[in-house]
Structure 1
Amino acid sequence: MLQTLIPSAAPNACATSNRGVLSAAANGLDGFIVQHGGDLDRVFGRSGIDPEQLLHPTLSLPLTNYCKVLEEAARQTGCDNFGLRYGQQFQPQALGLLGYIGLCSATLEDALINFSEAFPFHQHSTLIELVDQGDCYRFDYQVRHGAINERRQDAELTMGMALNLVRHVLGPTWAPRQVAFEHSRPQDWHEHRDAFQADVRFAQGCNSLLIPKSELIDKVMPGSDPILLMLIKDAIRQLGDTGSGVSSETGLLDRARQTILATLHLGEPALDEIAHDLGLSDWALQRKLRDRGLSFTQLVDQIRQESALTHLKQQHLSVTQLASMLGYSETSAFSRAFKRWFGVSPKQWRSAANS
């Protein structure tokens, strides 16, 4: 039986002053883009990022813009594995408060727990869990913002950050037992295997690292400092929400989209299950959606349409794989739905988009 040690924070437990992600998560991004031949003005301009914000690690960047700048950087530099490479060089101390919560912990196990516990204050609309699987911990990560479909680069960056926290203690050759990504397998996937020195799987339900517990036993953090840890925990908690309301970013519609997106790969979304996850009755969710001019079926359709177009741009994901990711039991059912939405088949759309 799996036991969740550190659950992701509820929407009203996240930070008031941070409604996205702390800009420390983009530490050195400008230099890394230039190093890979990218045009900073173009990348930041298209992503809606003010470079001045990157100079202040506790300022908040909208999560939509943050994920977009990483995807745009990958496109502009021609480096498909941009997030992976950025994550490989991203050391814990560069992550600001969140990084030092790990570094100042007593043991490596404590570092992983403290890092997971603090993460919701660092980044909003995100699942972070450290799951006890018996002989291993599974570190899960997934952006759950309803407006973000392209998030591959962010996922690869974050897995690299977590990897480097462990390697800070166990050395640069340490490898997890397994790595999983929710996105499809990229063309240069061998680079992922080499970076993690592990079995890397794609098109999974969540991004995760599988860490053997035996390798964490009695591993003391070299920079352990209980007093500084207490001060850093207090500082990051001050970013927390002291108000009683939920921000507009995490309104009902956005939370419904996040929940549907996170469970879509499991099959056809059920109204009663989504409503239960949102703490509502079936009729209450239907009424609230109707007030916004939507039915539950229309909302699921919208999410599937957006996700289908996003993933069809990835050449190495087959239509059959995409159908399964979108919750269709048969590829033919997905193809019929796609033709109803856009008037052409998924293969025709992909061919035209890349011609």
Structure 2
Amino acid sequence: MPEPSSLASWTRALRKQLDALGLDSAALCNAAGIDPLAPLPEPAHATLRLWQLAVQASGDPALGLRVSRFVSPTRFHALGYTLVASESLREVFERIVRYQPQSRDNLRLSLDKTAEHYEFRFNPPADCPAPAAEIFDAFAAIYVRTCRNRLGRAYAPLAVHLQRSAPVDPQPWQELFRAPLYFSASDNRLLFACGDFDSHLEDGATQAAEAATGLIWEPRVRGVIETQLPEGEPSAESVAQALGLSLRSLQRHLADEGCRYDLLLNQCRENLALLHICDAQLSLNEVACLLGFSDLEGFSRAFKRWTGLTPQQYRLGLLNP
């Protein structure tokens, strides 16, 4: 089966976000002219209508930014292990550009280096109707999250240019990108410092090539689990595939290090739960979805097992220390 397009991935992520907000994503799909049970991708005009209805139903103009959390960087653009194995962010984005035609997402990507910075552009073709503005918010957010996945959560680009009109309240964009923002821009463009993009990533391809001679696999497995959780509980098979391993090889590597996949999955969920629950902008349903739980009840049981408190009790304790 061909890899689904990244625009189709955004539709799945949008539905997960809507469901996490307590909205009926299936009903909104039907209202947009999309059969929620039909194979993806859908016609462009239908996805545009779905985003419009989703923003209206949620009352959240920054919905695209929120939806980006439900797309795994290691699966984005069907690159999988190549994103994990790249030696630098420059290689990561070069591969994104190179493999973009396989994604069938109606985007035109380019990466150019100037004397001072890299410019990464992501724009619709001139002869195609533009997707919803929120999709470009989501694309910008996932590209920045990809950088943070490799350089740390504090990373920020030099600037963010978006063709969309300026929102009434730009604060959600400012909080996510933590960089100068330019709305109503001539194109959709991210600027990155040369030093950040050219510097060697410690967990890149060189270390991947050293796997046969003793690479520590536990942190690498944790990283892939964390990026796949928003799409649902990741199986050991999907994590092994992202790492370019067979399931048996993954299990053997972890056993050699005294680890088990199920224990790592549980630890990753616990660590991320304590991080996400401190974010007041996230509802508990959203936190549950980001951790790969199918419902809030399952998350609540796990959280109480980890902390002795329900998520509601823990969050109240943060607000009233």
Shorter-chain TM band: 0.5 to 0.7
What are the equivalent positions in structure 2 for 1:48-197 lying under 5 Å apart? 48-52=33-37, 60-88=41-69, 90-95=71-76, 97-144=78-125, 146=127, 148-149=129-130, 151-197=132-178
What are the equivalent positions in structure 2 for 1:189-208 lying under 5 Å apart? 189-208=170-189
Paired with 2:200 and 2:48, the residues of 1 have a C-alpha distance of 34
**What do the CA deviations read for 1:268-293 (whole angstroms, capped 9, x no partner)?**
xxxxxxxxxxxxxxxxxxxxxxxxxx
Whether the aligned pair in 1 keeps the contact of 2:13 and 2:70 (CA below 8 Å) is: no
CA spacing shift, 1:195–1:21, aligned 2, 3 Å? closer
Equivalent residue letter for 2:33: G
Q: What RMSD in Å do the two structures reach over aligned CA positions?
A: 3.2
Matched with 1:31 is: 16
Matched with 1:216 is: 197
Equivalent residue letter for 1:26: T
Task: Return 5+ residue gaps in structure 1 as ranges.
Answer: 1-16, 232-355
Matched with 2:32 is: 47
Q: CA deviation at 1:150?
A: 5.3
Whether the aligned pair in 1 keeps the contact of 2:17 and 2:67 (CA below 8 Å) is: yes
Q: CA deviation at 1:27?
A: 4.2
Paired with 2:79 and 2:45, the residues of 1 have a C-alpha distance of 20
CA spacing shift, 1:112–1:151, aligned 2, 3 Å? same
Q: CA deviation at 1:158?
A: 0.3
Whether the aligned pair in 1 keeps the contact of 2:4 and 2:103 (CA below 8 Å) is: no
Paired with 2:151 and 2:119, the residues of 1 have a C-alpha distance of 17
**What do the CA deviations read for 1:301-351 (whole angstroms, capped 9, x no partner)?**
xxxxxxxxxxxxxxxxxxxxxxxxxxxxxxxxxxxxxxxxxxxxxxxxxxx
Whether the aligned pair in 1 keeps the contact of 2:110 and 2:122 (CA below 8 Å) is: yes
Equivalent residue letter for 2:8: S
Paired with 2:62 and 2:159, the residues of 1 have a C-alpha distance of 19
Q: CA deviation at 1:177?
A: 0.4
Counterpart secondary structure, 1:128: strand
Equivalent residue letter for 1:41: A
Counterpart secondary structure, 2:110: strand
CA spacing shift, 1:84–1:119, aligned 2, 3 Å? same
Paired with 2:202 and 2:93, the residues of 1 have a C-alpha distance of 11
Paired with 1:150 and 1:159, the residues of 2 have a C-alpha distance of 14
Q: CA deviation at 1:37?
A: 3.5
Counterpart secondary structure, 2:74: helix
Name the % identity: 19
Counterpart secondary structure, 1:51: coil
Whether the aligned pair in 1 keeps the contact of 2:80 and 2:242 (CA below 8 Å) is: no
Equivalent residue letter for 1:222: D
**What do the CA deviations read for 1:206-246 (whole angstroms, capped 9, x no partner)?**
11110001112333263645798998xxxxxxxxxxxxxxx
**What do the CA deviations read for 1:81-111 (whole angstroms, capped 9, x no partner)?**
1001112453303536235432232322111
Counterpart secondary structure, 2:71: coil
CA spacing shift, 1:197–1:93, aligned 2, 3 Å? same
CA spacing shift, 1:97–1:211, aligned 2, 3 Å? same
What are the equivalent positions in structure 2 for 1:202-281 lying under 5 Å apart? 202-220=183-201, 222=203, 224=205, 225=208
Whether the aligned pair in 2 keeps the contact of 1:108 and 1:221 (CA below 8 Å) is: no
**What do the CA deviations read for 1:20-71 (whole angstroms, capped 9, x no partner)?**
65633434432211222422122211333333457xxxx5443443343233
Task: Return 5+ residue gaps in structure 2 as ranges.
Answer: 212-240, 245-321
Equivalent residue letter for 1:70: W
Of 96-105 and 68-77, deviating more is: 96-105
Q: CA deviation at 1:142?
A: 1.2
Paired with 2:123 and 2:52, the residues of 1 have a C-alpha distance of 16
Matched with 2:296 is: none
